Structures are given as structure tokens and as C-alpha cells.
Amino acid sequence: MTITKEAFGTTADGQAVDAYLLESGSIAVRVITYGATIVSIEAPDSDGNVDDLVCGFDTIEEYQSDANPYFGACCGRFANRIAEGKFSIDGEEYSLALNNGPNSLHGGLVGFDKKVWNAEIVGDAVKMSLVSPDGEEGYPGTLTVELTYSLSAENELRLEYAASTDKKTVLNLTNHSYFNLAGKGSVHDHYISINADRYTVVDDDSTPSGELRPVVGTEMDLLESKPIGENINAVQGLGYDHNYCINQKKAGELTLAAFVCDPESGRTMECWTTEPGVQFYTANYVENVKGKNGAYYAKHEAFCLETQHYPDSPNHPDFPPTELAPGETYTQTTIYTFGVV
């Protein structure tokens, strides 16, 4: 396991951004302090050919541009959507910016994805940290967050989160990497299975109704492995963009959420998490985005597996809770394991 640090550029307001390259086994992962973002994941196919498996940009200027659809970033304070940008804690209502139609999305106008995190190498890991002050983006409480990246010899990329607050708040963190196990082209021929019997029903604005609907016998059924493109035109909207309720035996237990395989390259990816949900998203709104090394990314040329609590959880008492109180510690572990068949 080796970790190398280098400069990645400077933000528009003059903050230095660093990059950390983690190498172990046959995998190399690069993360930057802007947004605690995964910039690249390089892995071999079944013939030993190495490709970059995530979408991203070459420069900090591009990561700061409006064209960036959260490529590789840590989303918070609240990943996914909060309906009408409102929620209440102990009878007090809080209002957030609306940046996704009638919803607040991924923490608001300046979420964690747009912050420069502090970082240090701790043993065989990179620990990033951030302090979000009370009232930032409308959220209560001063929140302290840590996100640790590590890479094992078994090609496991581990993301470990921890957070604490000085005032009761809500919290929901995720990583928003856009994966393509072939390195380019459509992901319609990737095979996927998701370990979830139910999914979160939403309206056309992706606002949850509160219903958790069984997937069996519907176009949402991914319990058995099938091509991503098999039913993609039958699902609601422009493709998959839904929270799946992971089949956990025990809340907070590390569980296999999804398995993906690209038959052509032979690459595989497992997604394990302690979170109760995973948002499966097929890059429905990515249109001709100029990315790394002159590549252009288009709709359905990547997929996301955003491990998290359910969207709009603060407004649905029956959903797994997302409140965090002083004296409590938020923890989450997500592991992406890469291999070949």
C-alpha cells in the first residue's frame, strides 16, 4: 500500500487543492480535497488492460463548473432530496435552498461537494475532515465530519464516515461516483443485481410518497442479475434514479447492496454498506459533458450506487431515522470491491 500526495490546483477563491493517490493490489485510486472527491479508479480487465472506471475532470476549474453533476464527490449535509426544502426537529421548522425543482438536493447550493476538506495521511489511509458551522445551508448545529479512504490488497476501496454535532440536526452522507466498468460507452450491457425487495416510490419530481413498494414482478426488480438496459426504458423517468431498500438482517450491519459485471471486460464490482438504502442512478441527465483526457460523457454511460438513508427521511417517520443529537456519533462504512471473472 502506497499513498502519494501532489498539488491539484487552486479554487477560484484561492484555496489550494491536493490530490492523494492510493495504490494497492492491482488498483489505483485518486482522491482530491475538493469535495472529498474520487477523481479516478484504475483497474485491470480480465486480460490485464487497465482503464479508468469513473467519470471526472482533469482540472479543479472543471470540478467547480456548473457542468459538474457531483462526479465522485461526498454529498451532504443531506444527500438526495428533501421535499420543499423543509423539515422539522422537535417542532421547529428549518428551511433549505431549493436547487432541484421543488426539492433541496445533496446539501443545497454549497454542499460538502463544493468545500475544500482538510486531509492527512494516517497509516495506510487518507483522512479528510470538514467543519460545517451552525446554520450553514439552513441546517442546525455545528457539524464535524470525517471521511477516511483506504485501499486493501484485495482491491477493496473502503469509505468510512464519522460525524458529530453540538445541536440536534439531520445528516445523510454518500459518495456520488459515476462508474463504468468498461471505461467508456453505454452501461446498458452491464449486468446488475441489487439486494433489495422494495424501493422508495417517488413522484415525477423525485419526491417520495412514503410508500415502500415491492420490486418483484415489476420493471424495478433487480434481485436477479440482468442487463441495466433490459428495462431502463420502462422505469419511471429517463432511467433508474431510485432508492432501493437494502435487505439488511440488522440495522447498521455491513451488507452486500449490489453486484455489477461488465461481460466484455470481465470487470466486476461489489458494493457493501452499513446504510439502509442505495440510490441506483444511470446518469440520466448527463449530456455531452467534457471529461478527463478529452472524453465526452453522455446519458446512460455510467451508473451510481449512492449508499445512504432514504430520500426525504426527515419528513417520513416510518423511514430509518436521520437525526443526529449531541453526544451521538454518526458512522457509515461503504466498500467498493473490484475484480474480474
Amino acid (one-letter) located at 163: A
Amino acid (one-letter) located at 177: S
Catalytic, out of 190, 306, 309, 316: 306
CB count within 10 Å of CB 12 equals 9
Contact (CB, 8 A) for 223 and 194? yes
Catalytic, out of 42, 106, 176, 309: 176
Closest C-alpha among 319, 225, 329, 240 to residue 276: 319
- Joined together, the cell numbers standing for residue 245 give 431498500
| 106 is known as an active-site residue | no
Cα distances (angstroms) measured from residue 266 to each of 190, 231, 261: 10, 22, 7
Contact (CB, 8 A) for 233 and 199? no
| 242 is known as an active-site residue | no
101-113 residues labelled b (16+ CB within 10 A) or e (exposed): eebbbbbbeebbb
Q: In this structure, is the dihedral angle defined by the CA atoms of residues 214, 218, 219 and 221, taken in order, positive or negative?
A: positive
Catalytic residue annotation = 176, 306
